Amino acid sequence: MNTALAVCQSGGWAEDAATLTWHERLAERLAALTPPTRKDEFWRYSRLSACFAPERTGRGLDCPFPSPEPLAGEWIRLDQGRPVASHTRAWRLRPWSELDETTRARWRERLEPGEDFFALRNLVEADAVLLLELEKTADAPLQLHYRHGAGWVQPLVLVELAPGARGALVETFSSFGPSTQNGAAHFWLGEGAELTHGVFTAGDGQALLHRVRARLCAHARLDVQAFASTGAYQRLEWDVTLGKSSTLRLSGITQGVPGGSNDVALRIRHAAPGAATDVLWRGLVPAEAHSAVIGRILIEPAGQRTDAAMRLDHLLLADSAAADVKPELEIYADDVACGHGATLGRLDDEALFYLRSRGIPEAEARQLLIDAFLAPVLQRFTLAEVLRHVQSRLPRPDDAAA
Amino acid sequence: MMISLRNLTVAVEGRRILDGLDLDIAAGEVHALMGPNGAGKSTLANVLAGREGYELLEGQALLEGRDLLAMEPEERAQAGLFLSFQHPVEIPGVSNLQFLRTALDCLRKARGEPPLDSAALLRAAREVAQLLGLPADFLKRGVNEGFSGGEKKRNEILQMLLLEPRFIILDEPDSGLDVDALKLVAAGVNRLRHPERAFLIITHYPRILEYVRPDRVHILHGGRIARSGEADLAHQIEAGGYAAVLEGTAV
Amino acid sequence: MSTTELDAALSQAYEAGFVTDIETETLPPGLDEKVIEYISAKKNEPEFLRQWRLEAFRRWQTMREPHWAHVRYEPIDYQGLIYYAAPKRRSETEIDPKLLETYEKLGVPVHERAALAGVAVDAVFDSVSVLTTFKDKLAEAGVIFCPISEAVQKYPELVQKYLGSVVPPGDNFFAALNSAVFSDGSFVYIPKGVRCPLELSTYFRINTARTGQFERTLIIADEGSYVSYLEGCTAPMRDEHQLHAAVVELIALEGAEIRYSTVQNWYPGDEEGRGGVYNFVTKRGLCAGRGAKISWTQVETGSAITWKYPSVILKGDDSVGEFYSVALTRGRQQADTGTKMIHLGRNTRSTIVSKGIAAGHSQNAYRGLVRINPGASGARNYTQCDSLLIGPHCGAHTFPYIESRNPRAIVEHEASTSRVSEEQLFYCRQRGIDPERAVALIVGGFCKDVFQKLPLEFAVEAGKLLEVSLEGSVG
């Protein structure tokens, strides 16, 4: 099956009465909001101005994209926020206009954006709204390729895994002209469902905001494997609510790019007993680059018997590199074992000297130590689609020699 | 009678673990309680010491005639009961000596005695630590904090020797010990044997009974004492396993 | 063991809750420029200080109360507070015996012949300093230890040079308010190369109802000197809230060391959250010269709300900042406390050890900033931040901010949250220890790393505050 989805109508939302009313209210709420500033704790370290630069804003312009690379397996291509082609057997894909009212009502509720400016704006101005459903087990990951190249681009992807379903989703992002993509993915994992979520972004001078909001029902499991390489400005957000005995494992790497700024914001909420969170994020920050990771683990009173751990580490590789980290615990239940750790530092001089004294040139010695720093994260990456991209961005000395 | 258990019936999460258990231990005696894994040996130890999470359905337990089961855990300790834990917990930052002093203060206060003077306690503690082959800085270290398995077991014996209880339950004091450590633990127990004291040694293996000769050996099975005998019962278990020894006993 | 039992184990009567019946001179409630003029005139202040206060007041009027901390409270009516209250003096030299009684009851050594002869005390009662001991002995060493109002008269050049140099009047809302209306506090100057022969101590007492206490402490340690300073605080039990907005400034010049310890036991309010002190305090030290060292140790058990972040600006190369904190909250108490370590100089080092204990319905937050500026090559920070929860109705939170702008610096942060486990409690009780002592013992062990940093006299007091006997060290 190779379906070319019809380009969704403007705004992405079908014009049924209930959706229209809801959409109007959202628009009113958006009009009353202003973009976040550094006074907002979750935007404290964000260098947001890049995504409001005049050349990256504006709407509606199409972009002359180059011919796409051919894709194998299961995939969907979204250009300028709109699905243009897809190929999948395991997943069911539908635009909003094809959904029945029950499904629409359910999702309208799940999409409540609160006071989040970018989430609201994405809902109000969505270029396309696409629902992906998985009923049972999908063997191959579904790849979502986003390309943006002009103005503000705002795709919205809804993902629902039926109870017990198992699958993988890999989102990759690239840009081809002055633009800001403000996208969102909403995951709903039914009881016992398992999703592996890969994210790969490559730096090419544009701005990207991508929000993932996930709700895990009882015994569900979400395994995130992310690699973020900065454009001018990039922010990846995960907002995860864990149900009873569910599990979140979130692993990520930030590879900074000179002149770029990269944010990661994690909001993890334990709302039921027995859930477990394990976060490991590591960042490499070269000269003139900025990396920020804000991670909050919130344990609600109902979140007894919680096990939560978060590690956020950065290596600053040169002068003028900058890193900001804010690992938070907010705990309202007593039967918990929670911890976080963070380090900011540089390559170990002693180790570097040791390697060089064994005849390894400095550049390669540095690369070896960087590999060692990233290894614990890479060991958690199981998605071949992500690993392939990551390896292409992290050349190893062996490769150079070969 | 030091300890007297009658028809003790205890459930955990609705499941009967002890089912009409009777047991008497007279002052001056050492009894061993053996049985296969999951027979309820540790349940008995915990119920007697007053741990939460056990539902008493029937029966009674008297310690020198006093109703043990009506008391709070610390009251049982103050009445003379000591449990050497199978898995002693760590209490970071609280030194062994501080812990011992607090326990002794509470025990002595309950008996209407004045607090022990610090120097005397320190002397006694050092002597016992040495006897048990524990390092010199042991008393300064946090309670069980970062101890090896063997150190934890020996620390239980150290506390037992210094607190001088009257009825002592040793819950698997031998598990995870090498022979040398086992001998030290056994020596500690033997040192405290006294006509006015009684011991219940809970063990899965008869090994420790080579060093601490029991007056009676009981086998716990089906929630009650399925067989009792002299010390040589332990050897029969060693030779033929529980199945052979229990063969023919009605449950 | 039930939550109520646990709670009972941690709560204890507030022993410092009595009121001293003494005649005071108080201003009517309210704040305007006239009040500031009155305070300044009352203290016979030089013109520079009068102007400084008025500027701070004008600044304050343009500022808004901060609300980013993890605390909730009803709006404060700043016009309903009394800004000046002082016990009436019978004469210039004689001190009302009731005041002496008050401090004796609180265990503060106000007689020079007292057992704690190694401690010099400045006693601040409501808005004024009522007595300072051992002034002569300190003077022999060249140490100045006196009420700041006296220092303004005797050493105006030192005051003018350093007042507001670390915490400028416009630093934050409460610092601005303090700068406008501060009434008294302690002043310390340790000359070059002098090791202060006594522990210096200030004891703060709020007595009069509806009175705000705005003390100002200024400590200057000249090159190569050393001083250890202790601070204690209590207040009577009253149904309404009392505001305490102090400012403490420390300046350590090259090679100097200041150790500043606090045992804060302001009235915390009752179990329902009625009454209690709002403790909104700005404390900051400047390691101005090479190799200077500032160490903050605090044991916070009191106050309805605590909002304080004793900080160190590590400007001098090789300077050292330390922060050791125990914060215990119970009942309806709320604490948002921590530190800021600002690394500016090369090879600067900082250590943060924070232990938060939350019980009852209280909220206990650690908030700390570690900032490495571009010039701070070779800087190091280590932070250890642990929380202990007692019962299911409290909250324990950790909000660290870690910012690095220098690749030759190393920052390490570790945090954990756990509870007093049933296992630990049962183990203690099996050894005959009653639940109250068992909890105190376990909590005391949890706090050990911080208690070890307190001067001996305060370690004992801190231990008592947590019902913990700490005399367990082995020779």
Select from A340, A343, A346 the Cβ nearest to the Cβ of C407.
A346
DSSP C82: B
**A:306-325 residues touching chain C, CB 8 A cutoff:** 314, 316-325
Compute the distance between CA of residue C332 and CA of residue C67 in angstroms, rounded to an integer: 18
Compute the distance between CA of residue A333 and CA of residue C395 in angstroms, rounded to an integer: 7
Select from C429, C448, C474 the Cβ nearest to the Cβ of B97.
C474
The percent of residues in chain A predicted with pLDDT above 70, rounded, is: 94
pLDDT at B247: 76
Compute the distance between CA of residue C355 and CA of residue A23 in angstroms, rounded to an integer: 48
**A:328-367 residues touching chain C, CB 8 A cutoff:** 328-346
Q: Spell out which residues of chain C touch residue B83, defining contact as CB-CB under 8 Å.
A: 430
Q: How confident is the model at residue A10 (pLDDT cuts 50, 70, 90)?
A: very low
Torsion, Cα C428 C434 C435 C440, to 10 degrees, reads -80
Structure tokens of A85? 């082609």
Angle at C191 between CA C185 and CA C194, to 5 degrees: 110
pLDDT at A395: 58
The third-level CATH classification (topology) of the domain covering B3-246 is Rossmann fold (3.40.50)
Interface of C with A (CB under 8 A): 68, 372, 374, 387, 389-419
Select from B49, B95, B98 the Cβ nearest to the Cβ of C430.
B49
Provide the residue ranges of all domains of chain C, joining segments of one domain with +. Answer: 3-465
Q: Spell out which residues of chain C touch residue A340, defining contact as CB-CB under 8 Å.
A: 398, 413-415
pLDDT at A280: 98
- For residue A164, the enclosing domain spans 17-401
For the cut 80, the answer to whether the pLDDT of residue B184 exceeds it is yes
Q: Is residue A7 part of a domain?
A: no
Question: pLDDT (tens digit, 9 = 90+) per residue, A117-168?
Answer: 999 999 999 999 999 999 999 989 999 999 998 889 999 999 999 999 999 9
Give the residue from C343, C315, C367, C317 showing the smallest Cα distance to A344. C343
Going by their DSSP bridges, the two strands A128-134 and A91-95 should be labelled as antiparallel
Q: Spell out which residues of chain C touch residue B94, defining contact as CB-CB under 8 Å.
A: 441-442, 444-445, 448
The chain-wide mean pLDDT, for chain B, equals 90
Q: Spell out which residues of chain A touch residue C416, defining contact as CB-CB under 8 Å.
A: 338-339
pLDDT at C109: 65
Going by their DSSP bridges, the two strands A194-201 and C349-359 should be labelled as unpaired
Contact A345 C409 (CB under 8 A): yes
Q: Spell out which residues of chain A touch residue C392, defining contact as CB-CB under 8 Å.
A: 301, 304, 333-335
Question: Nearest chain C Cα to A300, which residue?
Answer: C395
Closest chain C C-alpha to B118 CA, distance in angstroms: 9
Q: Spell out which residues of chain C touch residue B92, defining contact as CB-CB under 8 Å.
A: 445-446
For the cut 50, the answer to whether the pLDDT of residue A400 exceeds it is no
Say whether the B–C interface has 3 or more Cβ pairs within 8 Å. yes
Contact C433 B163 (CB under 8 A): no
Give mean pLDDT, residues A324-349: 93
Helix H or strand E encompassing A109: helix A101-110
Question: pLDDT (tens digit, 9 = 90+) per residue, C333-385?
Answer: 999 999 999 999 999 999 999 999 998 899 999 999 999 999 999 999 999 99
pLDDT at C288: 97
pLDDT at A1: 38
Closest chain C C-alpha to A243 CA, distance in angstroms: 19
Neighbours of chain A (3+ CB pairs under 8 A): C
Compute the distance between CA of residue C198 and CA of residue C209 in angstroms, rounded to an integer: 34
The stretches in chain C having pLDDT less than 50 are 1-7, 9, 115, 467-475
Q: Spell out which residues of chain B touch residue C447, defining contact as CB-CB under 8 Å.
A: 93
pLDDT at C11: 53
pLDDT at A44: 92
Closest chain C C-alpha to A335 CA, distance in angstroms: 7
Report chain C's terminal Cα–Cα distance, integer Å: 35
The DSSP secondary structure of B105-174, one letter per residue, reads: HHHHHHTTPPPPPHHHHHHHHHHHHHHTT--GGGGGSEETTT--HHHHHHHHHHHHHHH--SEEEEESTT
Helix H or strand E encompassing C380: strand C380-390
Closest chain B C-alpha to C435 CA, distance in angstroms: 8
Question: pLDDT (tens digit, 9 = 90+) per residue, B118-167?
Answer: 888 999 999 999 989 888 788 989 999 988 888 899 999 999 999 999 99
The percent of residues in chain A predicted with pLDDT above 90, rounded, is: 68
pLDDT at C474: 21
Helix H or strand E encompassing C8: helix C3-10
Residues sharing a CB contact under 8 Å with residue A319, sequence separation 6 or more, in sequence order: A287, C374, C406, C407
Helix axes B96-110, B118-131, angle to 10 degrees: 120
Contact C387 A326 (CB under 8 A): no
| Separation of CA A47 from chain center | 18
Domain tally, chain A: 1
Closest chain A C-alpha to C73 CA, distance in angstroms: 19
Q: Spell out which residues of chain A touch residue C415, defining contact as CB-CB under 8 Å.
A: 327, 329, 339-341
Give mean pLDDT, residues B13-37: 93
Name the phi and psi angles at C244, rounded to 5: -125, 110
Q: Is residue A240 part of a domain?
A: yes
Contact C407 A319 (CB under 8 A): yes
Instruction: Report the amino acid identity of residue B196.
Output: E
The DSSP secondary structure of A240-253, one letter per residue, reads: EEE-TT-EEEEEEE
Question: pLDDT (tens digit, 9 = 90+) per residue, A25-73?
Answer: 999 999 999 999 988 889 999 988 887 887 777 765 677 788 888 888 8
Say whether the A–B interface has 3 or more Cβ pairs within 8 Å. no
pLDDT at C466: 60
Q: How confident is the model at residue A204 (pLDDT cuts 50, 70, 90)?
A: confident
Residue whose structure tokens are 């598990």: B175
How many CB atoms are closer than 10 A to CB A349? Answer: 9
Interface of C with B (CB under 8 A): 1, 421-424, 426-435, 437-438, 441-442, 444-449, 469, 471-475
Let me know: does A71 contact A143? Beta carbons within 8 Å: yes
Q: Is residue A6 part of a domain?
A: no
Select from C432, C445, C448 the Cβ nearest to the Cβ of B110.
C432
Let me know: does C319 contact C257? Beta carbons within 8 Å: no
pLDDT at C230: 87
SS3 state of residue A96: helix
Burial class (CB in 10 A: 0-12, 13-18, 19+), C384: middle
